[in-house]
Structure 1
Amino acid sequence: MASIQKRGENRWRLVAELGYDAQGKRVQERKTIKVEDPALLRAPRRLQNYLESEMVKFQMEVDAGHYIRPEKLTFQAFIEKWLQKFVEVELEEKTKISYRFHTERRILPYFGTMHMDKIKTMHITDYLDYLRTPEATINKDGKLLGSATIVYNYRVLRSIFAKAVEWRVLKENPMIGIKKPPEDDVQEMEVYDEKEIQMLFDALEDEPSHIRVQIVLAVTTGMRRSEIAGLDWKNIDLLNGTINIKQTITMYKDGAPVIKGPKNKNSKRVISIPPSVVDELKVYRLEWAKMKLQLGDKWVANDWEFLFCRTNGFPSDPERLTKRWIAFHRNHGLKAIRLHDLRHTSISWMIYKKVHSSAIAKRAGHTNTKMLEIYGHIFESVDKAAADVFDDMVKPTKRKA
């Protein structure tokens, strides 16, 4: 029969019964709990109710086969549960892939055979130091890991041990006190300046419509790549000149696009587009409609009408949009920047044109205007424009030189 045994001033041992083995020997599981709440310790009835509640939960865990003694639980065994109960259930698709990759690539081989309760803060700092050595690279070129990779490993470890504490596998989190590693080699944001923007649009003159529209939208709306990939004609109002951003496509999985809502509540927004872009879209709409008609039975996308799509009507893979951009800027000898940097260029241009920060944040889908602080240094003209606003304030002096 299950029992509760006092083992000290504020400790109790829970004993769960599992019946008898083949030799007729009683099988039990034991777990010691510590009560640290002084008020609970001074209230016998409440304390008894609490202990009985913990006993019932413990017996249920044991009966279901879910209980593993912490001193017997290896890091690898815990990771299996963490992946199953947290990563696969609570994280978004791209994050799942990243968490699994970093866990299986380096974290699991390093900690795998260690018992969870034996992993201390020093072991984790040693691991982060190990990531900075050539042995951690795995790649044949022997190139050291970048700081972004090390920081991502830190994030994954923080998640693992936070869950271990939350699920009462560990009493203390060994990540406490470990600072996030510095990101000293992160690729800096790049944008096109006024002259480079003009060169960009000159280069677009003779490009096919689908390439021209993709790049024009990226520059003039500041949409994220996933938002551009998720654009459907039903969300574009050519009469009123607006784009309603309702969905994104971040990747393909098992041959199908992963379609979901915008990044955050501010990302779900309506963006106005200038008349010149409306004209571009009208021309492209006609070409797109002809293309769909010619495909006939090959079009299997049902009601989908994505602006950028495959020959079966399914949306383009976001990676395909990036490859188009890279091929375009290389072919025209433009400065090499990322597709996402066209979004930065769009925001920087609005700053340059003195658009109000709240309007910029709303258009870009930022949660607040604080995000815009990273853009202020982009164009030299911005500071000059800021200085010019004081020109009318300063009155000419009559003093002689």
Structure 2
Amino acid sequence: MRKRGQNSWTFTVDVGTDAQGKKEREFKTLKVTDPTLLRAPKRLQEYLETELTKFKLEALAGQHKKHGKMLFSKFLEEYWEVNFVNIDLEEKTQASYLFHRKKRIEPYFGHMYMDQIETTHILKFMQLLRHPNARADGTGPLKSATLVYNYRVLKSIFSKAMEWKIIKENPMTGIKKPKEDDVKQMEVYDEKEIKLLFEALDYESLQLRTAITLAITTGIRRGEMAALEWTKIDFERGHLYITQSIPKMKDGQPILKPPKNGKPRRIVLSETELAELRLLKAERDAELTDLPDQWGDGKYSFVFCHPDGMPYDPQWFTKKWIDFHRRHQLKAIRFHDLRHTSISWMIYKQVHSEVIAKRAGHSNIKMLEIYGHIFESVEQAAASVFNDIKKG
């Protein structure tokens, strides 16, 4: 890609060699007339790279029409460049795509030519995913969410192939999205189970006790808890600020991201929660005096971390929670279900829905509809308050 004029660029694509071994190239000149693009260097660069990739695919497709056809595996390389490399996507999104591409999609379709893939091939692939031992380790069936993910990736791939004129017909046409009929429903603790949980926490380390207490009383997400820093806790006002999240670790290092929905929020803490946090901070400060070398040059102050200050992998919370509820023979629920328990309990206690949504970090109260069964019981209780008036 070379800039040729004030607002124009020339694309050059190598498409192979001719019979004499001479390189064959395709050229295209693109003029950008959108003033908003020209004023935004980053957006302009992304646009140019996308257009270059499109032209490259068109040129290669034309070459393949002369000497053969475009392989699915070759198209995937370009699809990856446009949809993942040049766009700032979540690390988890990229990792998930690469896993399914390498383990399932590419092994099945990689050797096939794009214009030879038919609807029946897609149907057979989806049927293969439904095999009783389709998991990567061969120990059981895939969850319906995995089937849906593969379906969506294939749909995106062939839609892009149509857009770039690599194929004339979309083999995904007429294929229905798999039903998600095995989605695990949320489970929550009732009042008795919450009491048992807090009784069991009395026998645990201060760090684990604080983590589980915060999860069930504030409803913060696992990644948000992993990224929580002491600088985000205002002990005087009793406020906790959620400003970042660690969705996962990459190459042993944390990936810091904004919280879900990209919106920071404030959570008011009770005196009990503040007391636990003060104890944990005192314990942490004592550890720091013995460690001159801190992770990240000491510029971070993670609440839940290794002795050198490096934050725990979000998986740490899940593993510790599973070990905890098993040892104390509590009802087995997911760590994320502690968040559901927190929200459900606030609903049961008739806290205003807007306050709940704000505290939980939901973009609006519509997200609370998944707790409809709890709202129903609360509404029934609300209706019954008029019984006394009627009796009087």
The alignment's TM-score, normalised by the length of structure 1, stands at 0.79
Q: CA deviation at 1:218?
A: 0.4
Aligned twin of 2:31: none
Q: CA deviation at 1:173?
A: 3.7
Which one of the candidate residues 214, 217, 224 is aligned to 1:217? Answer: 214
CA 1:276–1:68 in structure 2 vs 1: closer, same or farther (change >3 Å)?
A: same
CA 1:211–1:182 in structure 2 vs 1: closer, same or farther (change >3 Å)?
A: same
Q: Mark the runs of 5 or more structure 2 residues left unpaired by the alignment.
A: 1-12, 29-50
Residues 209-233 of structure 1: per-residue CA shift (max 9 Å, x gap): 1001100110111111000000011
State the superposition RMSD in angstroms.
3.1
After TM superposition, list the pairs within 5 Å mapping 1:45-60 onto structure 2.
none
1:319 matched to 2:315: yes
Give the paired residue count. Answer: 352
Greater C-alpha Rg: 1
Q: CA deviation at 1:156?
A: 1.7
After TM superposition, list the pairs within 5 Å mapping 1:82-97 onto structure 2.
82-90=79-87, 91-97=89-95
Aligned twin of 1:128: 126
3-state SS of the aligned residue for 1:355? coil
Supply the AA of the counterpart residue of 1:373. Answer: E
Which one of the candidate residues 83, 96, 101 is aligned to 1:98? Answer: 96
After TM superposition, list the pairs within 5 Å mapping 1:154-169 onto structure 2.
154-169=151-166
1:328 matched to 2:321: no
CA 1:115–1:270 in structure 2 vs 1: closer, same or farther (change >3 Å)?
A: same
Moved more, 360-369 or 120-129: 120-129
Which one of the candidate residues 203, 206, 214 is aligned to 2:203? Answer: 206
Q: CA deviation at 1:161?
A: 2.2
Supply the AA of the counterpart residue of 2:252. Answer: G
Q: Mark the runs of 5 or more structure 1 residues left unpaired by the alignment.
A: 1-15, 32-56
The whole-number CA distance in structure 1 between the counterparts of 2:385 and 2:325 is 36
The whole-number CA distance in structure 1 between the counterparts of 2:23 and 2:294 is 67
Q: CA deviation at 1:278?
A: 1.1
After TM superposition, list the pairs within 5 Å mapping 1:40-189 onto structure 2.
61=55, 67-69=60-62, 72-90=69-87, 91-134=89-132, 136-141=134-139, 143-189=140-186
Supply the AA of the counterpart residue of 2:360. Answer: A
The whole-number CA distance in structure 1 between the counterparts of 2:175 and 2:153 is 13
Moved more, 186-195 or 18-27: 18-27
Say whether the 8 Å CA contact 1:222–1:344 is kept in structure 2.
yes
Moved more, 119-128 or 151-160: 119-128
Say whether the 8 Å CA contact 1:223–1:364 is kept in structure 2.
yes
3-state SS of the aligned residue for 2:334? coil
The whole-number CA distance in structure 2 between the counterparts of 1:81 and 1:301 is 39
The list of structure 1 runs, each at least 4 consecutive aligned residues, that deviate by more than 4 angstroms after superposition, is: 16-31, 298-301, 378-381
Q: CA deviation at 1:294?
A: 2.1
Moved more, 236-245 or 297-306: 297-306
CA 1:324–1:170 in structure 2 vs 1: closer, same or farther (change >3 Å)?
A: same
The whole-number CA distance in structure 1 between the counterparts of 2:180 and 2:107 is 24
Q: CA deviation at 1:277?
A: 0.8
The alignment's TM-score, normalised by the length of structure 2, stands at 0.81
The whole-number CA distance in structure 1 between the counterparts of 2:297 and 2:385 is 54
Supply the AA of the counterpart residue of 2:117. Answer: I
Residues 182-239 of structure 1: per-residue CA shift (max 9 Å, x gap): 1111111111011000111111113211001100110111111000000011111111
Q: CA deviation at 1:258?
A: 0.6
Moved more, 381-390 or 370-379: 381-390
The whole-number CA distance in structure 2 between the counterparts of 1:367 and 1:26 is 55
The whole-number CA distance in structure 1 between the counterparts of 2:16 and 2:206 is 74
Aligned twin of 2:36: none
1:346 matched to 2:342: yes
Aligned twin of 2:292: 296
Question: Percent of pairs identical after alignment?
Answer: 52
Residues 298-348 of structure 1: per-residue CA shift (max 9 Å, x gap): 555421110001122110010111111111111111111111000000000
1:374 matched to 2:365: no
Say whether the 8 Å CA contact 2:15–2:60 is kept in structure 1.
no
CA 1:135–1:218 in structure 2 vs 1: closer, same or farther (change >3 Å)?
A: closer
